[in-house]
Amino acid sequence: MKITKMETFVVPPRWLFLKIETDEGVCGWGEPIVEGKAHTVKAAVEELAGYLLGKDPLDIEDHWQAMYRGGFYRGGPILMSAIAGIDQALWDIKGKFHQAPIYQLMGGACRRRIKVYSWIGGDRPSEVGEAAARARAAGFTAVKMNATEELQYVDSYEKIDQVLERVAAVRASTDAQFGIGIDFHGRVHKPMAKILAKELEAFRPMFIEEPVLPENNEALREIARASRIPIATGERMFSRWDFKTLLSDGYVDIIQPDVSHAGGITECKKIAGMAEAYDVALAPHCPLGPIALAACLQVDATSHNAFIQEQSLGIHYNQGNDLLDYVADPSVFAYTDGAVAIPEGPGLGIEINEEHVRRMAEIGHDWKNPLWRHSDGSVAEW
């Protein structure tokens, strides 16, 4: 079997899909994307296609190593996201070729379902209490919210109080056992992160996410000393080498590699295994489309330390098209009692509605994240 064609589709709301075809009629789908850089990643996929065309798609590990090590410059969001989407599509082909879900080809499942959480509040969190109550009524047992708007390196206690009021509203509208993930989104610098982490303890959140930017991960030491809340990070880290120091330093409790950014199923399975050796939990990052979610669920199925999965249904980014719009059978992602079953179909376990993909690709998108500024005119972290 040989790879004969690789085709990319820029589709709304902010995604990039990849279809890989073979001479035996078996095709696979992947989701190589950096939010806000879809066309850049598309170009990277097209460059890598020059190596892959004519190759056997089943030699996944060798292709991964060639795409990564075959270039003098390695890593980073663009290359690793391009590799990630290709890797997903190759695994999809391999599963379909063997008529088995991907997790069976990676040793089999250690779970049949996994807890999921719902996003609430949007970029500038508001009315989160009501949103959490709606999520609970819909059957979710956990939510995630942005903690803050923009914060200066040293900001006011008024901003701290606003965060506490929002989290208090979520806790009051749910119950004591309801999971609350609080995403600092890299918007918070070390001086304020230490204060927030300590003040939030009273609400017993599930975790605080990316309390500082990943380039400032050394600050996690001080934040961990200031608070007993589990610390999660990793969505902006792109390989096992990026995670190596984070894990060995011992200040992270939950890692969040993104299966569309961190080298795909092949690499994220290795990252998950590294984390398990450090007694660190896995909660893959995935505010993306259905292919990315299906790939995450295959990794979750085989990773003992996976405990919850992000998913994008109803997220504020999904304007015009949502998670289920591109799959032929939306029931594959049916959420029951706050959890989703691992797909049992061959490959990724989902069937893409190719007609809808092609129709939406004619519309495309040029999504960019907002550029925020502080009141003094300086650029703020979004």
Question: Catalytic site residue 98?
Answer: no
Residues 6+ apart with CB under 8 A from 305: 272, 275, 276, 280, 281, 282
Q: Which DSSP state fits 339?
A: E
Residues 335, 139 contacting (CB under 8 angstroms): yes
Residues 74, 53 contacting (CB under 8 angstroms): no
Rounded Cα distance between 16 and 204, Å, is 37
Q: Which one from 63, 189, 285, 365 is the annotated catalytic residue?
A: 285
Question: Catalytic site residue 185?
Answer: yes
Q: Which one from 98, 185, 316, 356 is the annotated catalytic residue?
A: 185
As given in the structure block, the two tokens for residue 249 are 């330093």
Tell me whether strands 207-209 and 231-233 are parallel, antiparallel or unpaired. Answer: parallel
Which backbone phi and psi does 17 adopt, to 5 degrees? -110, 155
As given in the structure block, the two tokens for residue 90 are 């190759």
Residues 41, 81 contacting (CB under 8 angstroms): yes
> Which element (helix H / strand E) includes 157?
helix 157-173
Identify the CA nearest to 5 among candidates 18, 17, 22. Answer: 22
Please give the positions annotated as active site. Answer: 185, 285
